[in-house]
A and B are shown apart, each in its own frame.
Chain A
């Protein structure tokens, strides 16, 4: 085999690959990407504040904290555990009456967002609680000693000191959400995952499968590295 033959072979393979990609329905891919971004963006925007509030509440009502309320803590904690232990695909169907009541429909991108939020918020609440537990209680005590009102302790001490853990939690929640969005097809929701199933699998289009998988991988990578970079920047000085 001489080098020219190898080059020719590589060339033909590349051409075959390009031909393979030629038939990719790019407008469909584009629409699906957009749907995925919308589902991800909207559900993250709703789940983060909601989860943050629940997480703060769980943390502050837990034993030894300043809103200690045993029953509130236990109930909230149980609710978080239950929603987290139901597989997303089941949760999706189980809460349909609630979804219909909330947004008027159970299908399409719109009908898919409430279950996404309901799955992501408890997860982020738990992440928030863990991040808050990492805050040095001594700093909170110092804030009390300085006569800091409780709301300011939450805002200027707890959430501030926990910010690195919180950002890591948002990143993890977003990555989880990307994989949840893949199940939107079952309610006609659209998005990259839906495309992969309907075209890539059911219509046997390996080109579509490849492109959607690559795109989702890239999306997750971007989310993760973006979050990591932010964490790194913030913790550089905080932890030396």
Chain B
């Protein structure tokens, strides 16, 4: 993983994604191999050294895991007290964190008096208290409703942008990956089966598990098969970046007798990068269809025939 990026790990439940995440701060110790975070090989440390290193790695949990006997303020202060900061310093830092996550008005409430989203904000503030380099999010939005999920994801993005914290997000929801991640790894039965830039993964998934996961997000489901009559060819076109915004299809068929019908597709932006993904049925002569496909490819779009 690269410093400063938001990296996603996705998979079905039981795929081993949480276990992988928990290996990063050695809550789970791998049977073999090593774990290195920020140049420090954690697997070699003594328990005491590991405790100190863990303070550089924040963690956010699905069920928040806040102390029920402590207020929001006290929960956020917990890691700061561990670091033995002076009292005044702790107070100042906690106020700062409360502001950052928008929880200042609820500072003295107990977790039972807060909503799920508010609890997660406290959890995030607590995880950030010691200015960690890495933030691990274990299904951080899975217990929240869609609207709260959006606001928590927006908060994570803000944090990533403002503080430059590397964030690792574990989720089973594709839309979470799509909303915040730069790169993603797909896990299946304890292994990473595919990984890369999020856009690439969405536009042309390789592994069957990835394709399966993409069916969650309706617009990326591929459910049209090439059942072509003679003289027809179904193709899929992809583009990302500025090319996606150009009228490639219209220009490619102009001046030919080829007819193009869009069967399925979507155009949009993912983390500010425009993309297009279309399933198109071309009808016309073989030669002309081949020419059209070549033309589209020439404009840095990718084309794949559907059979």
Contacts and interface: CB of A to CB of B under 8 A. Distances in A.
Interface of A: 136, 138-139, 141-149, 152, 156-157, 160-161, 163, 234, 237-240
B143 to A, nearest CB: 11
B13 interface: no
A139 B78 contact: no
Interface of B: 25, 27, 48, 50-55, 57, 59, 61, 63, 65-70, 78-79, 82, 110, 112-113, 126, 136
A147 B59 contact: no
A67 to B, nearest CB: 13
Contacts of B126: 146
24 contacts: A136-B65, A138-B61, A138-B65, A142-B59, A142-B65, A142-B66, A143-B78, A144-B54, A145-B57, A145-B136, A146-B54, A146-B79, A146-B126, A147-B50, A147-B53, A147-B82, A157-B67, A160-B67, A161-B67, A161-B68, A161-B69, A234-B69, A238-B68, A240-B113
Contacts, number: 68
A134 to B, nearest CB: 11
B122 to A, nearest CB: 11
Majority secondary structure of chain A interface residues (helix, strand, loop or mixed): helix
Contact of A145 (B48, B54, B63): B54
B52 A147 contact: yes
B55 A238 contact: no
Contacts of A138: 61, 63, 65
A207 B79 CA distance: 61
Nearest to B48: A149
Nearest to A157: B67
Identify the 3 closest CB pairs spanning chains A and B, nearest first: A147-B54, A142-B65, A240-B112
B183 to A, nearest CB: 23
Contacts of A237: 110, 112-113
Given A141-B27, A142-B59, A144-B27, A149 B51 contact: yes
B55 A147 contact: yes
Contact of B78 (A144, A146, A238): A146
A59 B70 CA distance: 23
Nearest to B114: A240
Given A146-B55, A147-B53, A237-B110, A139 B66 contact: yes
B65 A146 contact: no
Contacts of A142: 59, 61, 65-66
A187 B48 CA distance: 52
Contacts of A139: 65-68
A141 B65 CA distance: 8
Contacts of B27: 141, 144-145
